[in-house]
Homo-oligomer: A and B are copies of this chain.
């Protein structure tokens, strides 16, 4: 069978999480990213400097690991959202830069502890902190970064903003706890899945988008809209993240395809698929959940099953619906460059490859 006629190519959705959706070229993706972040490019650079500056300490290990983290990069989606929402509401000061760095630090601390829990050795194509320095130092480093983020957030004296950040961080931790307790379970329900991704991802997106509404002069109604925008975008983001585990190239993702399943994490494409297929096909998935390895079934067999059932396309459609919902929320704001950039954010999230 030639590669052209293979009905189940290795990466059916190369270039886009949705094989049913439009093909998005690398150039178009780059244009999307640009329309999302260009307006706040200067503030993002300032955020990066604040992020690096605060990951330093007189404890040599924190200094070393902090440099490694700062250089490791990241998509900085949450800081960009926060900075654009600040621009939308007319803020142009130092506060939003501080909060953008804080949100990225909280996100970083979460990733660091998650990698300990997942025994992950790679993130963004680089060795994880736990892989380099062991679990113990990594747990303490995560604690330090969480606390540092809260300390930084306090510097502008806005108690309600810290409340929002603490609330989102609690939700994230609860999402991780719920996910961990159901790790390896083949009967995770759609409701449980959405409960988990809402807590572990969407709440921090909602906090990032709505925090500027708490910078004086406060804008509570705008804050409610931006919270809903961030929440929908966050769910979209996590759906795409989970899709990429099936559709992305290892070289783009920086970790092997089907890593989630191998770690015991059932995500929506498989949750939707399981009740529809035969017991013998369900067994293939259960084997990976049980073994935490592809010893009895190959990744390609799982990918074939998913392609045959079409659940990637279903989940992609759901992600697109959340993206559309996020965009609709913005209609209450008068047209502006910041609103336009925030409207591009869902497209950027939908079409990212890593």
Is A319 engaged at the interface, CB distance under 8 Å to the other chain? Answer: no
| A162 proximity list for chain B (CB < 8 A) | 150, 154, 162
Pair B170/A144 contact, Cβ less than 8 Å: yes
Q: Among residues 37 to 82 in chain A, which have CB atoms less than 8 Å away from a CB atom of chain B?
A: 57-59, 61-62
Q: Which listed residue (B117, B135, B146, B174) contacts A146, Cβ 8 A?
A: B146
- B62, A177: Cβ atoms under 8 Å? yes
In angstroms, Cα B57 to Cα A291, docked, is 32
A346 at the interface (CB under 8 A from B): no
B154–A159 touching, CB < 8 Å:
yes
Q: Mark A159-176, 1 if CB is under 8 A from B, else 0.
A: 100110011011001101
Q: Which residues of B contact A193 (CB under 8 A)?
A: none
A171 to chain B, nearest CB (A): 10
Which residues on the B side are within 8 Å of A135 (C-beta)? 135
* Residue from the set A116, A136, A159 with the largest chain B CB neighbour count within 10 Å: A136
A113 lies within 8 A of B151 (CB): no
Partner of A59, one of B113, B163, B174: B174
A143 interfacial by beta-carbon distance below 8 Å: yes
Is the C-beta of A253 less than 8 angstroms from some C-beta in chain B? no
Contacting pair B150 A59 (CB below 8 A): no
Contacts A113-B139, A116-B139; A163 near B154 (Cβ below 8 A): yes
Q: Is the CB of B143 within 8 A of A174?
A: no
Copies of the chain in the assembly = 2
Would you call A144 and B59 a contact (CB within 8 A)?
Answer: no
| B-side contacts of A154, CB under 8 Å | 159, 162-163, 166
Minimum CB–CB distance from A289 to chain B (whole Å) comes to 17
Chain B nearest CB, measured from A203 CB (Å): 12
**Residues 73-117 of chain A: 1 if any B CB is under 8 Å from the residue's CB, otherwise 0?**
000000000000000000000000000000000000000010011
Within 129-150 of A, Cβ neighbours of B (below 8 Å) are at 135-137, 139-144, 146-148, 150
On whether the beta carbons of A143 and B178 are closer than 8 Å, the reply is no
Contacts of A148 in B (CB 8 A): 166, 170
Which residues of chain B are within 8 angstroms of A159 by Cβ–Cβ distance?
154, 157, 159
Q: Do the beta carbons of A173 and B113 come within 8 Å of each other?
A: no
Q: Can you name the residue of chain B whose Cβ is closest to the Cβ of A166?
A: B151
Q: Contact between A57 and B174 (Cβ–Cβ < 8 Å)?
A: yes
- Distance of A150 Cα from B169 Cα, bound (Å): 11
Any B CB within 8 A of the CB of A194:
no
New A-B pairs, 12, CB < 8 Å, besides A61-B181, A144-B170: A61-B177, A113-B139, A136-B180, A137-B177, A140-B176, A144-B177, A146-B146, A147-B169, A151-B163, A151-B166, A154-B162, A162-B162
